[in-house]
Amino acid sequence: QVQLVESGGGLVQPGGSLRLSCVASGSIFAINAMGWYRQAPGKQRELVAVLTSDGSPTNYADSVKGRFTFGRASAKNTVYLQMNSLKPEDTAVYYCYADLHVNLGLAAEDYWGQGTQVTVSS
């Protein structure tokens, strides 16, 4: 019932920028956290950035600090990932992530988007 819908992926030259967006929709009682992970060919999925609802600052991967900006958009249940100064090493499938409750009486569960391809190449 809950869906995470991503947009903004594509092909960009080194040094360029992309902005990814993710909208969580469906029957949602509360969201504990939302963020982004990525998986490059031949590698395991890794955390890029996650923002929790407890007031803690955004947690960024060391490899993207200073280049990527993650935050909550003005629209309800929407987050973005602004990616600047992109490098070929950033090439990966990027997945939106959410930890949320669909009902007060149920434990929180993980939800994932379908993934969007980001390719950085000249």
Adjacent-strand bridge partners of 67: none
Does an H or E element contain 100, and which? strand 92-101
Mean pLDDT of the chain: 95
pLDDT exceeds cutoff 90 at 85: yes
Share of the chain above pLDDT 70, in %: 100
Which pLDDT score, from 0 to 100, does residue 22 have? 96
What whole-number distance in Å separates Cα of residue 12 and Cα of residue 34? 25
pLDDT exceeds cutoff 90 at 115: yes
pLDDT exceeds cutoff 90 at 36: yes
33: three-class secondary structure by DSSP: strand
Banded pLDDT at 72 (limits 50, 70, 90): confident
Radius of gyration of the chain (CA): 14
Nearest 5°: phi and psi at 66? 85, -15
